Every structure is written in C-alpha cells, then in structure tokens.
Structure 1
Amino acid sequence: MLDIKTIWKKYSEIDSQELIILFSLAIRQSKEFVLSHTDYKMSCLERWRLWWLTKRHKQGWPTAYLARHKEFYGLNFLVNKNTLIPRSSTESMVELVIENLKNNHSEPRKMLIDIGTGTGCIPISIIKTLNDSNIKTIATDISKKALRVAKQNAQRHNVDIQFIHGDLLKPFINNYSAIINNRRLFITANLPYLTQNWIKSEPGIQKEPISALLSDNKHGLSLYEKFFQQIKFIILNFNSSPSIFIEIDSRQSVMAMELAKKYFPKAKIEIKKDLARRDRILTIYQN
C-alpha cells in the first residue's frame, strides 16, 4: 500500500490547504493527522475516495461542499449546495455587531434580525459569543432549503433563534409592533450583491447557489435598495431607529454609500474594512 507522502505527489497541482482537507475526508481523520502521519498507508477504498474527491474538486466543487461543513468564527457550520459557503470576510461584520451590542449592554431589550441568513452563521456566531439572554434573535431567508440548514446549525450550537421564511423584511412589516415589541433593533444582512459578469469572473463560486450570489447586471445593489426601502418604511411608520450592518463588495463602496444616503440622509453612515483591508461593511446608525 502507498503512503500519504507518496500519493500526495500525484495531486501536487491542487492547493496544499485544499489537499489536506481532501486527504482528511478520504481517510476519515483530522487534518492534523494527515500532516503528522505522512507515512500512513492508504487502503484501496481510501485511495478511491481520494480520487473521487479530487475529481469533484477539479470539476469546481468547493471543499466545503465535499466536506459538508465549513469553519466560521471558530465554529463549525453545516453547508450544502443550497447555502452560500461562509467566508472569512464576513467575520469582520460579526465582530462589529458584537462590539455594538456590547456597547449597548445597558439596553435591557434588544433584538437582532439577520436577513438572508443562509447557514445562519452570522446570528449564531454573534449569539453564541455574547450569550446574552436579553437579545431576542430572528433570522429570515427566502429559501426554505437554506432555512432547514440554518435550523440544524442553531440546534448544533445550542442557540435560541426564531427562523422565518420570507422576502427580506416583508414578514415583519405587517406585524412589526407585535414582533419587535419596543426592542432596540440591530439588523444584519449579507444579501446577494454580485452581477452576472462578476460571477463569471470568479470560477471558485460557480457551484454555489446563484440565488445567493446574483443581484442584478447593473451594479449588484438592487436587493439592498429594496431592503433600504423596507427599512425606511419601518422608520417612518413605527418610530424605529435600527442599527444596520450589511456586507458589500469592495467595488460597490461608493455606490452603496450614495444609496444609503439617499434613503437615510440623517443617519451616520460608514464603510468598514474586512481583515484583508478591503471595503466590506456598510453601517447605518439612525440618530
């Protein structure tokens, strides 16, 4: 039987970090085991598994889909083809929201709403970190299949989140007062913000759900404009002053800022950078 070190050479064209994951899946051991046991003799079944995994990888399937999980903010999340894969760039938004919630610790009644929750990684990471029973949390998604994954992740991490199927803030508008119930509101959203051309230029995302990536073919902000319209309606009709945190592409920062100013001219609006120092988070604080 051949060992890991010998077989590794056959697949050396694959990124080493990705290949470690594929080996760990093939032999059903940890990544640490793969690195520390390069003399491990792989059975025929394990070599077949590795061949199948590398074949799928070369076809464009992300390792997260092959592994069926992805680490985000120190937690492990279930993923499948119906959910966007959590990305490290989004962790910066999680950090920012946690900081804001901590700064409002004296506020006894808070509510966190995550729009377009996908795997649920944003609200789950926030609530798991803070462990604050005063924060009521709701997450929505237009995809019922994505919500099923998010519910599994919430159960997996033992956090109390109410999941609602619906389009952006629409589930709240007709019953806003009863749902929010005078709570200090924090809203997070990582909505589809890519154009068709941007998606075509990024081969690594071709297997992810198009509905979780594509916004429009103009500037990628059409869903956020609809989202802002709904928030403005809530502000005007329910005397609410939510703090809003949304993820954008760095190429959209100027347009996103202008769009936010159009709908919230009196708000404090800022662009924050992610860990790679790229414009990534648009924050809107109502006065």
Structure 2
Amino acid sequence: MRAPKLPLAYREAKAYFYGLEFFVNRHTLIPRPETEQLVERTIELIRINQGVLPENLTILEVGTGSGNIAVTLDLRLRNAQIVATDISEHALEVAGRNAKRHQAKVDFSLADIAPAGGKFDLVIANLPYVPSSRLPHLPEEVRLEPRLAIDGGRDGLRVIKKLLSRLRELAKTRAIVALEIDDIQADKVTQLFRQEFPSWQISAEKDLAGFDRFVFGLSPDLAKR
C-alpha cells in the first residue's frame, strides 16, 4: 500500500500566511488563504470602529495552532495585547517559535478556550469545524493534519458551541467576535450566536470562492461598514 504523501508545508516545515513565513509541523494545522480573509476583514472592522474601540485593544485568539493569526494581528495592530490559547502543548511550542521569529508579543496559554479572568475587545477563532463523519472523506493531505485541529465532533460545532457559551464572560460590552466556519454551518452558528447575544449585529460573510466561511458578531454600538 502506498504511504500517504505529506503535504508540502510539512515537508518544507514552512507555510506562508499574510505575506509572512511560518514554521509548521504535524502538530499544527497548515494556514489557509481563507483564514487570511478572516484576519483582513477583522482588521477592517477594527479600523472602521476606531474611536469607539480602545486604542490598546485586548484580543483573545482561541485555538492558535501555529500562531499565524495572533502573530499577524500583533504585527498589524501594534498597540494590541494578545492572548492566544491552545489545548496542544506541541502547537504552543510552534506558535512561540513563530512569535519569536517575527518579534511578536503574544501571551500564549495552554487552556481550553481561555485562561481564567479577563475580558476582550476582540475574540477571534478558527476552530475545528469538520463533522467527525466527514473526516474519512477529506483529501488525503488534509487527513494528515492533526485531528485535534480539524475534528469538530458529531455536527462539527462541538468546540464552536463551547466558545459561544463562554462569550459573555470573555467579550467586553463593546466587542467584535470573528469566527471561521464550515460553509454549511452559517445558519446554525448565527442562530446559536443570536441566542447568546440577541442585540448584537451577527452575520455570515463569504470567502473568495463564494462560500459562507465566516461569522462576525459586533456589539450594538459598532459599525460594519
């Protein structure tokens, strides 16, 4: 039987994200172009709301993996204070290496969702969202990425639901929440989000391929455009 071929990023131990080179290995998800769009749109929302959000933003990234989101945000938002969590010690080692490489100031923490205490102006996450039943049908190279970073449980929403259930303790009164999701989950995630925050502006947005890929939540006094 032919052995599975490692993705190029793992063979070269590097991947590019937002114009930056990141070290990756089999303990971390390989950064995707769609996630660049998540970061770009999030930065746009922050800039739209300058003067309403504080200058020194507090940011929580859940499920940091290689640290690509947290590091990029630190380099683009120079006054931000960023906490990035993961449940994998190996992933956090990779993330710390990437932060050091790019001289980014990120507080990495081994935690399920978030460390105790603290509220944030921005909560951002690209969490596992593939339903367990679909894992055997993923492309071979994707199946070689860490299951911990891909498997979202029976409905693909196990970890996303956990995050949404804790947002009240994590998000400040004025805050942005930015999530990457599976394209079939937009209706369900926006519904769950509205149950937690009925007064917020919550919407799904498409990726460059035209799929519903992101859900953004903004507190009532923030602007989307």
- TM-score of the aligned structures, taking structure 2 as reference length: 0.90
- Runs of 4+ aligned structure 1 residues displaced above 4 Å come to none
Residues in 1 aligned to 2:199 and 2:26: alpha-carbon distance in whole angstroms: 41
Q: Which residue of 1 aligns with 2:61?
A: 114
Q: Which residue of 2 aligns with 1:210?
A: 147
> What does 1:65-144 correspond to in 2, within 5 Å?
65-106=10-51, 107-130=54-77, 132=78, 134-144=79-89
Write the deviation string for residues 12-54 of structure 1: whole angstroms up to 9, x where unpaired. xxxxxxxxxxxxxxxxxxxxxxxxxxxxxxxxxxxxxxxxxxx
Write the deviation string for residues 258-285 of structure 1: whole angstroms up to 9, x where unpaired. 1111221111001111121211110011
C-alpha deviation, 1:120, in angstroms = 0.6
Report the residue type matching 1:164 in the other structure: S
Q: Which residue of 2 aligns with 1:257?
A: 190
Percent of paired sites with the same residue: 33
**Aligned with 2:90 (options 145, 148, 155):** 145
**Aligned with 1:163 (options 71, 91, 108):** 108
C-alpha deviation, 1:232, in angstroms = 2.3
Instruction: Pick the structure with more helix per residue.
Output: 1
Equivalent residues, number: 217
Tell me, which stretches of 5 or more residues in structure 1 are unaligned? 1-55
Residues in 2 aligned to 1:151 and 1:234: alpha-carbon distance in whole angstroms: 23
Residues in 2 aligned to 1:260 and 1:246: alpha-carbon distance in whole angstroms: 11
Q: Which residue of 1 aligns with 2:126?
A: 190
C-alpha deviation, 1:59, in angstroms = 1.6
Write the deviation string for residues 130-160 of structure 1: whole angstroms up to 9, x where unpaired. 4x2x211111111111000001001111111
Report the residue type matching 2:156 in the other structure: G
Residues in 2 aligned to 1:250 and 1:162: alpha-carbon distance in whole angstroms: 31
Say what the alpha-carbon RMSD is for the aligned residues. Answer: 1.9
Write the deviation string for residues 150-208 of structure 1: whole angstroms up to 9, x where unpaired. 01001111111111110002x13xx22xxx4xxx6111011111112222111231111
Residues in 2 aligned to 1:234 and 1:75: alpha-carbon distance in whole angstroms: 29
Residues in 1 aligned to 2:164 and 2:216: alpha-carbon distance in whole angstroms: 12
Residues in 1 aligned to 2:38 and 2:32: alpha-carbon distance in whole angstroms: 11
Residues in 2 aligned to 1:105 and 1:251: alpha-carbon distance in whole angstroms: 33
Do the aligned residues in 2 keep the contact of 1:90 with 1:274 (CA within 8 Å)?
no
Residues in 1 aligned to 2:88 and 2:57: alpha-carbon distance in whole angstroms: 26
Residues in 2 aligned to 1:126 and 1:274: alpha-carbon distance in whole angstroms: 19
**Partner secondary structure for residue 250 of structure 1:** coil
Q: Which residue of 2 aligns with 1:222?
A: 158
C-alpha deviation, 1:127, in angstroms = 2.1
- Structure having the higher Rg: 1
Tell me, which stretches of 5 or more residues in structure 2 are unaligned? 221-225
Q: Which residue of 2 aligns with 1:32?
A: none
Residues in 2 aligned to 1:93 and 1:167: alpha-carbon distance in whole angstroms: 22
Instruction: Pick the structure with more strand per residue.
Output: 2
Residues in 2 aligned to 1:64 and 1:81: alpha-carbon distance in whole angstroms: 9
Work out which structure has the larger RCO, using CA pairs closer than 8 Å and 6 or more positions apart in sequence.
2
**Aligned with 1:274 (options 207, 220, 224):** 207
